[in-house]
Amino acid sequence: MTIDLKTVKHISKLSRISLDDEKAKKLEVDLNSIFAFIEKLNELDTKNVQPLTSIAETTLQLRKDEIKSSNIREQVLKNSPKKNKDFFVVPKVVE
């Protein structure tokens, strides 16, 4: 797939990005090199390759779900400029 200057200008217009001719030509070259690399990747045989979720092959360490502190409501509510019994009072943002 190749990208021409007309396509670059059309995409920049759709995305509302202003480009002068020099930047558009540089972007054309960059996009064409990116698409050439993608085409090379598409030629690779990946039938026997397992998908990766991370490059570090580690598993998460599980821990017990424990309550470490209880009844800290008053400490938390000290951070609120206004309070209404057990809740934070926030300004209305939707009318």
* Residue 23 domain-assigned (yes or no): yes
Residue 15 belongs to what domain range?
Answer: 5-36
What confidence score (pLDDT) does residue 84 get?
Answer: 73
Contact between residue 24 and residue 4 where contact means Cβ atoms under 8 Å apart: no
* Residue 21 domain-assigned (yes or no): yes
Take residue 91 and report the two structure tokens written for it: 């300004």
Furthest C-alpha separation in the chain = 65
Contact between residue 30 and residue 5 where contact means Cβ atoms under 8 Å apart: no
Ranges of H-type helices in the chain: 5-14, 21-42, 73-77
* Residue 14 domain-assigned (yes or no): yes
The model's pLDDT over 44-89, given as tens digits with 9 standing for 90+, comes to: 999 998 888 888 878 888 989 888 777 787 888 877 777 677 777 7
Of 26, 51, 95, 39, whose CA–CA distance to 9 is shortest?
Answer: 26
* Residue 25 domain-assigned (yes or no): yes
pTM of the model: 0.51
Residue 84, strand partner residues: 87
- pLDDT, greater one: 34 or 61: 34
How many distinct structural domains can be found in the chain? Answer: 1
Give the end-to-end CA distance of the chain in Å, rounded to a whole number.
50
